[in-house]
Amino acid sequence: MKTAGVAARRSTAYDPDMTETLSVQVWRGSERGAFVAYSVPRRASQTVLDVVTHIQRRIDASLSYRFACRVGMCGSCAMTVNGRPRWTCRTHVDRVAKNGDLTIAPLRNLPVIKDLAVDMREFFDKWARAKGQFQPTASRRDGFAVVRPDSAARKQADAGIECIGCGVCHAACDVVAWNRDYLGPAALNRAWTLFSDTRDGGQATRLAAVAGDAGCHACHSHQSCQEHCPKHLNPTASIAGLKRAAAWAALKGQI
Amino acid sequence: MTPRGQVLLWVAQRGSAAVLGLCVIVHLATIIVAVQGGLTGAEILARVRGSGAWLAFYSLFVAAVAVHGPIGIRTILHEMTALRRGVVDGLAVATAGLILALGFRAAWGLYGAA
């Protein structure tokens, strides 16, 4: 009976088809480098971040990567996993490496600092260029702003507000790859949430900042950002909203 | 080019796309109807020669193509080549001029005044 109990527990913890080890290729170097092969023990409920952490702590301490919260909140651990940009802390190995093969590379469209760590400055500089800062219209002496949760503007902002700034959409976007000046889906999504914020007073300058060939009008609506966003946001829809708003503003001579 | 100019180009491309959508439907419907009795040059000329309506239709078609296509070419050249902005804009304007010249020449030729 005791043996059967152990077997039953194992059957719930381990997939019988699961390989014992993972064959992992990890990018080592900066812009120039190569993939290095590692063998990592496979475990139940293992995430891709667990795999990278195992390599760094047990096999090669010189491996550089970035993470913080490990629970899908901070947006630090995004990498390219088997060719797709993903948040690694919430990506289970079972879902992406059924045959036991993993290829882990840094995010596309951003300069590689070392190994799996990319330089995010360009990404967040674009948020600043898109006027992604809240521009208050009230002071601390004013009362609380009343924003109805069921108002159209608030719903519009809510649709894009949960962005964690992981850079997955930026890496997935072909337009970013083709046009390095393009602000990208995350910065434009941020601009749209602020544009939809009735408390914000920076709409005219924000629309001017996000309009044109380097802004929302460069988007081809491929929807890679929506396809890959780990938070299931739709930056393409946010960008479409900005396109319409900026087009009307241009026709009225406001930008 | 100013951001406002870039946005207006975007608006022009969308607007011309709407016009092209209607023009292509009329054009295809005409082809389908016209070929029912066989397709000859004489039949085409009998329909369009001296017709102000067809001249106006194909002039609108040509104008919409001349607006729509070069704006797209401008984007493609910017994204796919290392050409400078000024060169890309110049090539787009030249493409628009070429489409206008060839298109109006064809429409005017069918009208019968060439």
- Reported as a single tens digit per residue, the pLDDT across B64-106 is 999 999 999 999 999 999 999 999 999 999 999 999 999 999 9
Do B19 and B60 contact (CB within 8 A), yes or no? Answer: yes
Please judge whether A211 and B7 are an interchain contact, meaning their C-beta atoms are less than 8 angstroms apart.
yes
- Per the structure, the count of domains in chain B is 1
Least confident of A124-133, A243-252, B7-16, B30-39: B30-39
For B17, the token pair is 């796309």
- Is B82 in CB contact (< 8 Å) with chain A? no
Span A24-78, pLDDT tens digits:
999 999 999 999 999 999 999 999 999 999 999 999 999 999 999 999 999 999 9
Are residues A23 and A98 in contact, defined by beta-carbon separation less than 8 angstroms? no
Q: Let me know: does A221 contact A236? Beta carbons within 8 Å.
A: yes
Range B3-16 average pLDDT? 97
Which range has the worst mean pLDDT, A127-131, A170-174, A241-245, B43-47? B43-47
ipTM above 0.90 for this complex: no
pLDDT greater than 90 at residue A127: yes
Give the mean pLDDT of A89-93. 97
Relative to beta strand A112-114, strand A33-41 is unpaired
Model pLDDT, residue A17: 58
pLDDT number for residue A4: 43
pLDDT category at A98 given cuts 50, 70, 90 is: confident
CATH superfamily entry for domain A121-251: Alpha-helical ferredoxin (1.10.1060.10)
CATH class of segment(s) A2-118:
alpha beta
Q: Which residues of chain B neighbour A249 with C-beta distances below 8 Å?
A: 7
- What tokens does B8 get? 């207006």
Which backbone phi and psi does A36 adopt, to 5 degrees?
-120, 135
Contact list in A for residue B10 (CB cut-off 8 A) is: 217, 243, 247
Which residues make Cβ contacts (< 8 Å) with residue A58, sequence separation at least 6? none
CATH number at residue B24: 1.20.1300.10
Domain that holds residue B48: 3-111
Domain ranges of chain A: 2-118, 121-251
b/e B67-102 (16+ beta carbons within 10 angstroms → b):
bbbbbebbbebbbeeeeeeeebbebbeebbeebbee
Average pLDDT over chain B reads 94
Q: Does the beta carbon of B76 lie under 8 angstroms from any beta carbon of chain A?
A: no
User: A243 and B10 in contact by Cβ < 8 A?
Assistant: yes
CA distance A47 to A14: 14
At which residue do the structure tokens 């840094």 appear? A106
Distance of residue B81 Cα from the nearest chain A Cα, in angstroms: 9
Confidence of residue A145 (pLDDT cuts 50, 70, 90): very high
Tell me, yes or no, if B87 comes closer than 8 A to chain A by beta carbon. no
Q: Which of A109, A213, A221 to mutate to test the interface with B (most CBs of B within 10 A)?
A: A213
* A177-234 pLDDT tens trace: 999 999 999 999 999 999 999 999 999 999 999 999 999 999 999 999 999 999 999 9
Any idea what DSSP says for residue B44?
Answer: H
Q: Environment class of residue A50 by beta-carbon count within 10 Å: exposed (0-12), middle (13-18) or buried (19+)?
A: middle
